C-alpha cells in the first residue's frame, strides 16, 4: 500500500491534494513526469502528473479534481489510508534549460502540473512570467507558491473574484505585446492549450503543452493514449506527456477524451448509490 501522509481539500469536496509515501518514485522523478495510481487492486488506472516530490521525506504529491467514479474514490481516501498501486515515474521529463524569458500558463488543476516545471525553469536561471487562470478565487490553487517563483505574476478568473476578470489568453496577449518570449509552457484544459498555441503560432514562439489523454498501461503497449502530433501518431505515456503545441491535433484529442462520457456518467451514478 502507498500510504497517504497528508490530505488537504484545496477546494472543498472538489480539488484534493494527497502527499503519498513512495520513496523510490520520489527519488527518481523529474519535472513533467507522471504516475499511474489505483485506489484498489481492481480499480481504474488513473494517470496524474506530480505537483511536487520530496526525495528526503520520500513522498510525491498529486492534486486532482473529482470528475468521476475513480477520482471520487481517491477523494474518499484519508490520511493513514493509501493507494493499492502507484507506478512511476512515467513519461519523458521536461527539457529544462536556460533559454531566457519563459511564460508559464496554468489553468485549473493544470496549475499543479505546471508547478515543478516552473520551479525548475526558474532554478535554471530563466526570467519567469507566470499566468494562472481559474473559474473563480475558490479554484485558484497554489497561487502563493506560483507567485513566489515568478518575476511577473498575473492571475485571471472567469468571474473576476481573483486577479483580473478574463482568460489566460487575455493576459498572454498583454505579455506578448511587451516582447517575444523564448518559450511558452501551457498546461490546463484542452481548449485553453489550443487557444494559447494558436496565439503563439504566428510569431513561431516555441510552445509546450502537457497532454492527459486516456491511459491504460502507461508503457506504450496498449495505444490508449495515442495522439496526433504533426503527421505522426504519438503515445503520450512514452513520447510525452509534453508536445509541441503547434503540432498537436487538439480536436482529435477532445473527441477521444469524451469517447467514454456515457460510461463514466453511468459508473458515477452506480458509485453514488
Helix (DSSP H) and strand (DSSP E) numbers for the chain: 9, 17
CA distances from 27 to 6, 54, 57, 121 (A): 18, 8, 10, 19
260 binds ligand FES (CB under 6 A): no
Cell of 120: 525548475
The single residue among 100, 223, 230, 252 that binds ligand FES, judged by CB under 6 A, is: 223
The single residue among 77, 147, 224, 228 that binds ligand FES, judged by CB under 6 A, is: 224
217 binds ligand FES (CB under 6 A): yes
**Shortest distance, position 193 Cβ to ligand FES, whole Å:** 19
Sign (positive or negative) of CA dihedral 258, 244, 228, 220: negative
Q: Is 52 helix (H, G, I), strand (E, B) or coil?
A: strand
Give 125 or 223: the residue with its C-beta nearer to ligand FES: 223
Name residues contacting ligand FES, limited to 137-176 (CB under 6 A).
none
The single residue among 222, 247, 267, 268 that binds ligand FES, judged by CB under 6 A, is: 222
CA distances from 231 to 2, 206, 244, 247 (A): 40, 18, 13, 8
The single residue among 57, 84, 178, 221 that binds ligand FES, judged by CB under 6 A, is: 221
**Shortest distance, position 226 Cβ to ligand FES, whole Å:** 7
Find, among 103, 178, 173, 113, the residue nearest to 141 by Cα. 113
Give the strand order in the sheet containing 152-157.
164-165, 152-157, 127-134, 101-107, 183-187, 206-210, 242-244
Write the interaction track for ligand FES spanning residues 196-215; mark x where CB under 6 A is met and - where it is not. Answer: -------------------x
257 binds ligand FES (CB under 6 A): no
Preceding peptide of 196 cis, ω within 30°: no
233 binds ligand FES (CB under 6 A): no
**Shortest distance, position 253 Cβ to ligand FES, whole Å:** 13
114 binds ligand FES (CB under 6 A): no
216 binds ligand FES (CB under 6 A): yes
The one-character DSSP state at 231 is T
Do residues 136 and 162 touch, judged by C-beta distance below 8 A?
Answer: yes
Applying CB under 6 A, the span of 101-109, 168-176, 183-191, 217-225 interacting with ligand FES comes to 217-225
Binding residues for ligand FES (CB under 6 A): 215-218, 220-225, 235, 237
Amino acid at each position: 500500500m502507498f500510504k497517504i501522509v497528508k490530505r488537504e481539500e484545496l477546494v472543498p469536496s472538489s480539488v484534493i491534494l494527497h502527499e503519498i509515501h513512495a520513496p523510490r518514485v520520489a527519488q527518481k522523478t523529474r519535472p513533467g513526469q507522471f504516475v499511474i495510481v489505483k485506489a484498489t487492486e481492481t480499480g481504474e488506472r488513473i494517470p496524474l502528473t506530480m505537483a511536487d516530490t520530496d526525495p528526503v521525506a520520500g513522498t510525491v504529491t498529486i492534486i486532482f479534481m473529482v470528475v468521476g467514479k475513480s477520482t471520487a474514490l481517491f477523494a474518499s481516501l484519508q490520511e493513514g489510508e493509501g493507494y493499492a498501486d502507484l507506478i512511476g515515474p512515467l513519461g519523458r521529463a521536461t527539457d529544462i534549460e536556460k533559454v531566457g524569458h519563459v511564460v508559464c500558463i496554468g489553468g485549473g488543476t493544470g496549475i499543479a502540473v505546471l508547478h515543478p516545471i516552473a520551479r525548475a525553469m526558474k532554478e535554471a536561471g530563466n526570467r519567469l512570467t507566470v499566468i494562472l487562470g481559474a473559474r473563480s478565487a475558490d479554484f485558484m490553487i497554489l497561487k502563493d507558491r506560483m507567485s513566489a517563483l515568478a518575476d511577473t505574476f498575473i492571475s485571471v478568473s472567469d468571474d473576476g473574484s481573483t486577479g483580473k476578470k478574463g482568460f489566460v489568453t487575455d493576459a498572454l496577449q498583454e505579455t506578448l505585446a511587451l516582447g517575444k518570449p523564448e518559450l511558452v509552457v501551457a498546461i490546463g484544459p484542452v481548449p485553453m492549450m489550443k487557444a494559447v498555441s494558436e496565439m503563439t503560432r504566428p510569431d513561431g514562439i516555441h510552445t509546450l503543452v502537457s497532454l492527459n489523454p486516456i491511459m491504460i498501461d502507461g508503457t506504450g503497449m496498449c495505444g490508449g493514449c495515442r495522439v496526433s502530433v504533426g503527421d505522426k501518431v504519438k503515445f503520450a505515456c512514452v513520447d510525452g506527456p509534453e508536445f509541441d503545441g503547434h503540432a498537436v491535433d487538439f480536436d482529435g484529442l477532445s473527441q477521444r477524451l469524451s469517447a467514454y462520457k456515457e460510461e463514466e456518467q453511468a459508473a458515477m451514478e452506480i458509485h453514488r448509490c
